[in-house]
């Protein structure tokens, strides 16, 4: 028997380990395949995802960053969906990869044309996707009840001088849903069906964006004549999805989607122009060899602008449309040197315009500028030197001032003034030390306006032109404290009464305090605190010590400061104003805080017993605000609360309103508009279908 050595044992162990690892991997693959099979079962998948509450996070502009007006108009919120909610939005199904479910819902609800599906659920949900038709019925009910109430009061008044208000029962939220924008929209079932179908049509743009031909084909087979094929084609071309272009080429008998269409206010471009713009060479070739619509000179220009050299070569060798005079300018402006070289070598009749030169200089494309100067006979315009200086590219500036090109350009005496405005210290130093460039007081004035202290210091210590009083005014107005201090303490510029009076409401608090202390120390100023408007400081400061400093010196805030504190979402400032001024908080302030989403201020207002609007939940900015008002206030709400939730595109607010079985009170506002572009129009109607079919 041969005795095994060390290496024999080692290799045996290694092979055994490898075999075991392979078994583990195969077992894991088996489990993975088994899990996928189970997950593909519709019943199992619905059971699992019924517990999923959030598919994606809702995204809105942060309420803390919105003014009251902007906050109220903010409707573009990303949907906060669970699994069933997601089925209401075909574009979201595409976004999150639920392609099979997308097709299943379409085939079941849309293809099979089942607008009568909701009839069995109508008694439970009263789901009207569109709602001005429903609103009219609601308004007629209110008017009828008001007439009945007046009639009862009239009858009672015959027998008694005391009239008793007639009580009425108002429908709950589950009896009312969304708005009908079309009074002739037809039945509830038809309206819901039409909207769902339109959402599917619109979602095909998302399908085209990711190249999901199977989804496009699914819808196209059912509605070949109702789709906006042109918009789908443009997106597919833009993103380079040739199979989609081929599909419509083979299946659309009418070639109009491929044609250029000239409208009154705009022109629908050739598809070849679109392909050239985005550098989709394969699609460009397909359209060239298989279609007859052709392209325009824009194709060449677009390709040059975006630097698609291969596209330009193809157009140059296979098309006869040529280009406009702008393509060289575009290539130069965007720094596409390879494109510029091709144009230079192959289009000898082309002229380089002044705009092309300036575009390359402004874009800081020094290699393009160097190529043009070396290989072309045209010369850049006279103000090229200024633009080279303004970009801050010292190498480019030296190129223009070199012995070879200096004969074409002279140093303008305004160059240093204008360069100082943009804070190009290195350029200012170079011009001062290496050229005969001159400047005036405008150089320091403009640097002060923009807050370029380093430039101001250089000019002060190295030049004699100085600055004017305008420099101080501009520095104060633009809130550059370090510049103000330098001008006052180093250049010894005087502070007078007019400066303090003029800029108190437009500058920052640190500058105001600095100027005020100088004025007090001099003793030559007549400062009346009541004459100063200081509300602007509320917008920028959040430290109570700032307001204490102002208060101790007799400065007073007006009532508008409350609204400013709400706009900047500062509870600290709002509380200080409430505790240290005599201004009363009004219903308007509270409504502003509710509708702008400033929950800390609303909580504070509730704690101190401030007046609230009659129906505060009607104005809630988001779900946290709605929940707080529901749990901490006693006021009810009106039909406008649902309008507000729909307008804001907030599914969670809609759900909360329905789930909590609110009683809808009569609103004193007869006119209220639901935005047609809201994401949540028709949401409840579609959700009922999804839930009923369990898809």
Q: What is the pLDDT of residue 157?
A: 42
- The residue written with tokens 């999901």 in the block is 212
Q: How far apart are CA 381 and CA 98, in angstroms?
A: 58
Q: What is the pLDDT of residues 523-539, one digit of tens each?
A: 777 778 877 888 888 98
- The residue written with tokens 């609303």 in the block is 602
Residues 502-511 have a mean pLDDT of: 86
Across the chain, mean pLDDT equals 79
Q: What is the pLDDT of residue 487?
A: 96
The pLDDT of residue 125 is above 60: no
Least confident range of 35-44, 69-78, 167-176, 187-196: 167-176
pLDDT band at 131 (very low <50, low <70, confident <90, very high): very low
For 563, phi then psi, to 5°, come to -65, -35
**Tokens standing for residue 53:** 């509450």
**Tokens standing for residue 612:** 């609230």
429 and 476 part of one domain? yes
SS (H, E, C) 425-446: HHHHHHHHHHCCCCCCHHHHHH
Q: How far apart are CA 389 and CA 631, in angstroms?
A: 63
Q: Which residue has the higher pLDDT, 1 or 684?
A: 684
In the listed set 527, 561, 579, which residue is the last one of a domain according to the structure? 527
Q: How far apart are CA 520 and CA 531, in angstroms?
A: 16
Cα 546 → chain centroid: 34
Q: What is the pLDDT of residue 435?
A: 87
> Where residue 551 sits, what CATH number does that domain have?
1.25.40.20
517 and 541 part of one domain? no
Answer for the pair 449, 421: CB distance below 8 angstroms, yes or no.
yes
Least confident range of 46-60, 382-396, 447-461, 629-643: 46-60
**Tokens standing for residue 614:** 């009659």
Nearest CA among 491, 507, 432 for reference residue 456: 491
Q: Looking at the domain assignment, is residue 592 inside a domain? A: yes
Q: What is the pLDDT of residues 347-370, one digit of tens each?
A: 877 778 888 888 889 888 999 999
In the listed set 500, 527, 554, which residue is the last one of a domain according to the structure? 527
pLDDT band at 676 (very low <50, low <70, confident <90, very high): low
570 and 517 part of one domain? no
Least confident range of 122-131, 211-220, 281-290, 487-496: 122-131
| Long-range contacts of 301-304, Cβ-Cβ distance < 8 Å, separation of 24 or more | 301/326, 301/327, 301/330, 302/273, 302/276, 302/277, 303/276, 303/277, 303/279, 303/327, 303/339, 304/328, 304/330, 304/331, 304/336, 304/339, 304/343
The CA-based angle 538-543-548, given to 5 degrees, is 80
Residues 392-413 have a mean pLDDT of: 80
81 DSSP β-pair partners: none
545 and 596 part of one domain? yes
Residues 20-41 have a mean pLDDT of: 63
Q: Looking at the domain assignment, is residue 675 inside a domain? A: yes
Residues 513-518 have a mean pLDDT of: 90
For 262, phi then psi, to 5°, come to -100, 120
Q: How many CA atoms lie within 13 A of 111 on its CB side?
A: 14
Q: Looking at the domain assignment, is residue 287 inside a domain? A: no
pLDDT band at 73 (very low <50, low <70, confident <90, very high): very low
Name the DSSP letter for residue 268. Answer: E
pLDDT band at 678 (very low <50, low <70, confident <90, very high): low
473 and 550 part of one domain? no
Q: What is the pLDDT of residue 48?
A: 59
470 and 452 part of one domain? yes
427 and 523 part of one domain? yes
Q: What is the pLDDT of residue 118?
A: 46
Q: Looking at the domain assignment, is residue 229 inside a domain? A: no
Residues 207-236 have a mean pLDDT of: 94
83 DSSP β-pair partners: none
Q: What is the pLDDT of residues 267-280, one digit of tens each?
A: 678 899 999 999 99
627 DSSP β-pair partners: none
Contacts of 667 (CB under 8 A, 6+ apart): 615, 618, 638, 639, 640
Q: What is the pLDDT of residue 163?
A: 32
Residues 475-490 have a mean pLDDT of: 95
Q: What is the pLDDT of residue 486?
A: 96
Contacts of 538 (CB under 8 A, 6+ apart): 557, 561, 564, 565, 568, 570, 573, 577
Q: Looking at the domain assignment, is residue 625 inside a domain? A: yes
Cβ density class 454-491: b for 16+ within 10 Å, e for less: ebbbbbbeebeeebeeebbbbbbebbbbebbebbbeee
563 and 675 part of one domain? yes
Q: Which residue has the higher pLDDT, 650 or 54?
A: 650
pLDDT band at 16 (very low <50, low <70, confident <90, very high): low
How many domains does the chain contain in total? Answer: 2
Predicted TM-score of the model (pTM): 0.75
545 and 488 part of one domain? no
The pLDDT of residue 137 is above 80: no
Helix (H) or strand (E) holding 262: strand 261-262
Q: What is the pLDDT of residue 34?
A: 64
**Tokens standing for residue 493:** 């510029």
By residue range, what is the domain housing residue 511? 411-527
The pLDDT of residue 191 is above 80: no
Q: Looking at the domain assignment, is residue 226 inside a domain? A: no
| Span between the terminal Cα atoms of the chain, in Å | 69
Q: What is the pLDDT of residue 604?
A: 97
SS (H, E, C) 146-184: HHHHHHHHHHHHCCCCCCCCCCCCCCEHHHCCCCCCCCC
Q: How far is CA 42 from CA 50, 196, 200, 560, in A?
A: 12, 22, 22, 59
Q: Looking at the domain assignment, is residue 60 inside a domain? A: no
Q: What is the pLDDT of residues 164-175, one digit of tens each?
A: 332 333 334 433
621 and 667 part of one domain? yes
644 and 547 part of one domain? yes
Q: Is 267 helix (H, G, I), strand (E, B) or coil?
A: strand
Q: What is the pLDDT of residue 313?
A: 93
pLDDT band at 230 (very low <50, low <70, confident <90, very high): very high
Answer for the pair 410, 398: CB distance below 8 angstroms, yes or no.
no
Q: What is the pLDDT of residue 430?
A: 92
CB atoms inside a 10 Å sphere around CB 308? 23
Q: How far apart are CA 492 and CA 384, in angstroms?
A: 38
In the listed set 527, 546, 576, which residue is the last one of a domain according to the structure? 527
Helix (H) or strand (E) holding 229: helix 229-238
Q: How far apart are CA 457 and CA 469, in angstroms?
A: 16
Q: Looking at the domain assignment, is residue 446 inside a domain? A: yes
616 and 676 part of one domain? yes
Instruction: Kindly write down the DSSP assignment for every residue of 98-138, as one continuous string.
Output: -HHHHHHHIIIIIITT-GGGGGGGHHHH---SS-HHHHHHH
Cα 342 → chain centroid: 39
Answer for the pair 542, 575: CB distance below 8 angstroms, yes or no.
no
The pLDDT of residue 181 is above 60: no
Cα 152 → chain centroid: 54
Answer for the pair 87, 695: CB distance below 8 angstroms, yes or no.
yes
Residues 411-428 have a mean pLDDT of: 88
pLDDT band at 219 (very low <50, low <70, confident <90, very high): very high
């Amino acid at each position: 028997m041969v005795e095994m050595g060390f290496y024999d044992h080692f290799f045996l162990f290694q092979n055994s380990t490898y075999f075991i690892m392979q078994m583990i991997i195969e077992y894991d693959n088996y489990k993975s395949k088994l899990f996928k099979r189970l997950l593909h079962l519709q019943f199992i998948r619905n059971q699992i995802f019924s517990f999923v509450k959030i598919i994606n996070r809702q995204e809105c502009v942060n309420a803390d960053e919105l003014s009251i007006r902007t906050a109220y108009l903010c409707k573009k919120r990303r949907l906060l969906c669970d699994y069933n909610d997601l089925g209401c939005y075909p574009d979201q199904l595409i976004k999150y990869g639920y392609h099979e479910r997308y097709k299943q819902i379409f085939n079941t609800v849309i293809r099979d044309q089942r607008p009568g599906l909701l009839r069995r659920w109508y008694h439970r949900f009263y789901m009207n996707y569109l709602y001005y038709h429903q609103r009219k019925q609601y308004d007629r009910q209110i008017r009828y009840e008001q007439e009945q109430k007046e009639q009862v009061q009239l009858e009672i008044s015959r027998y008694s001088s005391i009239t008793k208000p007639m009580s009425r029962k108002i429908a709950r939220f589950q009896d009312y849903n969304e708005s009908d924008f079309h009074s002739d929209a037809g039945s509830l079932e038809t309206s819901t069906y039409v909207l769902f179908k339109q959402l599917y049509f619109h979602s095909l743009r998302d399908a085209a964006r990711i190249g999901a031909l199977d989804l496009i084909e699914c819808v196209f087979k059912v509605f070949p004549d109702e789709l906006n094929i042109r918009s789908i084609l443009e997106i597919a071309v833009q993103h380079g999805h040739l199979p989609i272009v081929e599909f419509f080429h083979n299946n659309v008998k009418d070639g109009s989607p491929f044609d250029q269409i000239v409208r009154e206010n705009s022109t629908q471009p050739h598809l070849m122009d679109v392909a050239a713009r985005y550098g989709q060479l394969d699609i460009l070739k397909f359209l060239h060899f298989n279609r007859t619509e052709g392209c325009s000179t824009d194709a060449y220009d677009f390709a040059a602008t975006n630097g698609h050299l291969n596209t330009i070569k193809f157009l140059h060798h296979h098309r006869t449309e040529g280009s406009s005079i702008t393509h060289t300018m575009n290539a130069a402006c965007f720094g596409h040197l390879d494109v510029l070289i091709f144009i230079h070598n192959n289009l000898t009749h082309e002229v380089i315009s002044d705009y092309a030169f300036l575009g390359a200089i402004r874009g800081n494309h020094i290699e393009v500028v160097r190529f043009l100067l070396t290989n072309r006979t045209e010369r850049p315009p006279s103000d090229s030197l200024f633009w080279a200086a303004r970009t801050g590219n010292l190498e480019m500036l030296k190129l223009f001032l070199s012995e070879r090109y200096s004969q074409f350009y002279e140093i303008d005496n305004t160059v240093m003034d204008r360069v100082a405005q943009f804070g190009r210290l290195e350029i200012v130093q170079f011009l001062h030390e290496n050229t005969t460039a001159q400047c005036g007081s405008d150089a320091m004035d403009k640097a002060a306006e923009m807050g370029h202290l380093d430039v101001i210091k250089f000019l002060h210590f190295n030049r004699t032109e100085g600055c004017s009083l305008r420099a101080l005014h501009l520095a104060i107005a633009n809130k550059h404290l370090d510049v103000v201090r330098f001008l006052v303490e180093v250049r010894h510029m005087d502070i007078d009464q007019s400066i303090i009076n003029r800029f108190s409401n437009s500058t920052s608090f640190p500058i105001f305090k600095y100027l005020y202390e100088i004025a007090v120390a001099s003793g030559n100023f007549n400062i009346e605190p009541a004459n100063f408007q200081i509300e602007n400081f509320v917008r920028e400061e959040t430290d109570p010590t700032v307001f204490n400093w102002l208060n101790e010196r007799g400065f007073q805030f007006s009532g508008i400061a409350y609204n400013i504190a709400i706009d900047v979402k500062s509870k600290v400032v709002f509380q200080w104003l409430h505790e240290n001024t005599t201004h009363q908080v009004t219903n308007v302030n509270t409504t502003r805080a509710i509708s702008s989403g400033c929950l800390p201020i609303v909580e504070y207002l509730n704690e101190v017993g401030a007046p609230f609007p009659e129906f505060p939940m009607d104005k809630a900015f988001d779900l946290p605000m709605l929940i707080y008002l529901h749990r901490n206030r006693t006021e009810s709400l009106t039909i406008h609360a649902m309008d507000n939730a729909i307008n804001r595109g907030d599914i969670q607010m809609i759900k909360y309103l329905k789930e909590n079985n609110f009683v809808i009170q009569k609103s004193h506002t007869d006119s209220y508009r639901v935005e047609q572009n809201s994401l949540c129009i028709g949401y409840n109607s579609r959700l009922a279908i999804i839930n009923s079919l369990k898809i």
